[in-house]
Structure 1
Amino acid sequence: MRIDEHLAMLRRDGPMVADAAQAAGLDAMVPPCPGWRVRDVLLHLGGVHRWAAGHVREGRPKPFPTAEEKTFFAEVDDEALIEWYRSGHQTLVDLLATADPALTCWSFLPAPSSLAFWTRRQAHETAVHRADVEIATGTTPTWSPEFAVDGVEELLRAFFARRPERIIGDPPTTIALSCTDVDAAWTIRLDGEGLHVADGAEPATLAVRGRATDLYLLLWNRTGLDGFAFEGDPTALGAWRGAAAVTWS
């Protein structure tokens, strides 16, 4: 996907997070994130947007030190929280929309450019947390198959590829993933050395077929098992869910 396409998704999904938060209520539990309430998602995502914007605005060659990073994650009263979140999102969108394509700053995943990295990463960061808040309202979000496939690619080949040794499978296990609404498939292997990803659906411990949106949510541990077709050993999915945990550090 192009930078402008990622930016369009970020611009669209950001307000949808706020709208869902208003519908759910800030005190509503967020099922995909045990222990979190909607306010926690807004505080986290609003801080991430400000943190990302800081790198873009300053063209920082290195990440913010821990003490400075913490300043982006403020404590905000409930009365002001949704507007605080909206403001941070809009600032990020405006910065990315007007940034020099030749922008050079720190990034942590492979990308054609710094601008491409930050736009793609924030589009998917926001999309996944949109899922969290919408699920708290009792609904499940959807995206175009193209965006969902891009999200799976970013997760498997970039986000977790940074440190594949963290996604250990003992004993080794393989999961083949096939989209039913677009021509895309992957086979992931978890073994003692970490995560390995191949194109196509190869013979595997477990084969999973579903819509691209649903596979995107499944790999981010944001959905249950309804709506998928399975063939093989279902315990393989438990190995993924246990290993592919994401936390902010």
Structure 2
Amino acid sequence: MDTAEHIKHLVREGQLLADAAELAGSHAEVRTCPGWEVRHLLRHIGMVHRWATAFVAEGHTSYRPGGGEPDLDGAPLLDWYREGHDRLVTALTEAPDALECWTFLPAPSPLAFWARRQAHETTVHRVDAESALGLVAGRSPVGPELAADGVDELLRGFHGRATSRVRADRPGTLRVRATDTGDVWTVLLSADAPRTTRTADGPADCELTGPAEALYLSLWNRLPAGSPAVTVAGDDRLALLWRETSAVTW
């Protein structure tokens, strides 16, 4: 998936997020994020969008913290979110291919990194916003290609870092298999950070199988444990370990 495609998804997902947030209302419970209401979600994602925009538009080559969340609610908060989303899309669209700025996951280029990262940040939180409407079966779909790309970013990007909290007292192999796209990942779990390859070589202690969208949402813990959309075969200890320790926090 190239940068232009990631930006296209960012546009769509950001608009869907705003639409769902407006329909739900800022004090609706976000069912996929316990303790959050829609206003908390909008403040968070709006801040992240502005944070990402600063690196792309201003070319910062070292880490800078986010600017904090605003004390806004209701329509002003929604307007603030939409403005930040638009700024991010514009910054990515107008950025040169040779953009140089800080990143935090492997990528072909800084521009490719930020387009991909924000496409998935926004997609996952769009699912959160739609959960505030009570949408499960009727939520907007995540396309198979985007979902498989997001699984790859999560497994080989976020959990390829030494900071991953996914650690196993007893080593084990977790395989993730997308039935619709044919993508396969093998995750080696141990007392060290996970190591993921795009292979299906050798036996696996536990295998998660399902459509790419279901795997994407399950691995991001946006589907309830035991969802029939994902089949768990083998040692479910590893699936439980993932659910309990894989959360990515700001």
Q: What TM-score, normalized by structure 1, do the two folds share? A: 0.93
Alignment match of 1:73 (pick from 69, 73, 77): 69
- TM-superposed CA distance for 1:8, in Å, is 0.3
Give the letter for the 1:149 counterpart: A
1:30 is the counterpart of 2:30: yes
The answer on whether the counterparts of 1:187 and 1:197 sit within 8 Å (CA) in structure 2 is yes
Secondary structure, counterpart of 2:35 in structure 1: coil
The DSSP-based 3-state class of the residue aligned with 1:160 is helix
Matched with 2:128 is 132
Return the alpha-carbon distance in structure 2 between the equivalents of residues 166 and 236 of structure 1.
13
Residue in 2 that maps onto 1:147? 146
Determine the structure 1 residue equivalent to 2:214: 214
Aligned partner letter, 1:47: M
Measured in 2, the distance between the counterparts of 1:164 and 1:197 equals 15
- Give the distance between the partners of 1:213 and 1:242, measured in 2 at CA: 20
Alpha-carbon deviation of 1:39? 1.0
Partner-residue secondary structure (3-state), 2:104: coil
**Alignment partner, residue 91 of structure 1:** 87
CA distance in 1, matches of 2:216, 2:37: 22
**Partners of 1:229 and 1:54 in 2: how far apart?**
41
- Residues 165 and 29 of structure 1: is their aligned pair in 2 closer, same or farther, counting only changes over 3 Å? closer
Matched ranges for 1:178-197 at <5 A = 178-197=177-196
How many Å apart are 1:206 and its aligned residue? Answer: 1.8
Which 10-residue stretch deviates more, 113-122 or 233-242? 233-242
Bigger shift: residues 76-85 or 125-134: 76-85
How far the C-alpha of 1:72 sits from its partner, in A, is 4.4
The answer to whether residue 169 in structure 2 is matched with residue 170 in structure 1 is yes
**Distance across 1 between alignment mates of 2:90 and 2:229:** 37
**Aligned pairs, how many?**
244
* Match of residue 96 from structure 2: 100
Give unpaired runs (5+ residues) of structure 1: none
Q: State the identity as a percent.
A: 45
Q: Does 1:239 align with 2:241?
A: yes
Whether 1:115 aligns to 2:108 is no
> CA 1:165–1:48 in 2, change beyond 3 Å: closer, same or farther?
closer
Letter in 1 for 2:2: R
Q: Deviations over 1:43-93 (max 9, x none)?
A: 0000000011111111111122x4xx3x34222132311111011000110
Report the Cα distance in structure 2 between the residues aligned to 1:162 and 1:230, rounded to whole angstroms.
25
Inter-partner Cα distance in structure 2 for 1:200 and 1:164: 23
8 Å CA contact 1:164–1:195 kept in 2: the answer is no
How large is the Cα RMSD of the aligned pairs? 1.5
Query: How much has 1:236 moved relative to structure 2?
Result: 2.1
Question: Are residues 145 and 165 of structure 1, via their aligned partners in 2, closer, same or farther at CA, if it must alter by over 3 Å?
Answer: closer
Pairwise CA distance, 1:199 = 2.2
Q: Alpha carbons of 1:229 and 1:165: their partners in 2 closer, same or farther (altered >3 Å)?
A: closer
1:50–1:72: 8 Å Cα contact kept in structure 2? no
- Helix, strand or coil: the match of 1:152? helix
1:203/1:164 CA distance change after superposition, 3 Å: farther
Q: Secondary structure at the match of 1:137?
A: coil
Q: TM-score, normalised by structure 2?
A: 0.92
Q: Distance in 2 between matches of 1:143 and 1:29?
A: 22
Q: Distance in 2 between matches of 1:176 and 1:55?
A: 35
